[in-house]
């Protein structure tokens, strides 16, 4: 969930860079001045950030489709596969949401 927000942010940032390169053209970057008035610099730079923007967007929405293979119930500590669950909830404890096993061990 946190990763998706980060990837969307990075994607927006990359697209914003493309916009910056093609409008402002000259702007300070980490203490030095980046001059994008030359098409030899602005075209590859725009292209690079556009690719980055698309790649970050791809990762942001790829994450969403990932279904965890194993899940754990925080109450009864039982491990389940996704197909054993009823709407993502523990079949033993009823209204308790099972969580991704990786998330479980992180906490």
Site residues for Zn ion per CB under 5 A:
73, 75-76, 90, 92-93
Residue 91 CB, nearest approach to Zn ion (Å): 8
Report the residue number, 42 or 75, with the smaller CB distance to Zn ion. 75
As a whole number of angstroms, the distance between CA 94 and CA 96 comes to: 6
The dihedrals phi and psi of 98, each to the nearest 5 degrees, come to -75, 145
The nearest distance, CB 44 to Zn ion, in angstroms, is: 54
Determine how many CB atoms are found less than 10 A away from the CB of residue 75: 14
Strand order in the sheet with 79-81: 79-81, 70-72, 99-100
Tell me how far, at minimum, the Cβ of 7 lies from Zn ion, in Å.
32
Nearer to Zn ion, 77 or 106 (CB): 77
Residue nearest to Zn ion (CB): 73
């Amino acid at each position: 969930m946190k990763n998706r927000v980060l990837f969307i942010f990075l994607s927006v940032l990359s697209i914003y860079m493309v916009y910056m390169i093609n409008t402002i053209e000259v702007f300070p970057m980490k203490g030095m001045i980046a001059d994008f008035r030359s098409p030899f610099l602005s075209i590859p730079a725009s292209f690079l950030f556009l690719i980055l923007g698309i790649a970050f967007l791809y990762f942001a929405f790829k994450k969403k489709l990932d279904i965890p293979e194993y899940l754990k119930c925080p109450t009864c500590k039982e491990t389940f596969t996704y197909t054993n669950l009823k709407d993502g909830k523990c079949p033993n404890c009823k209204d308790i949401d099972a969580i991704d096993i990786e998330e479980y061990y992180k906490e």
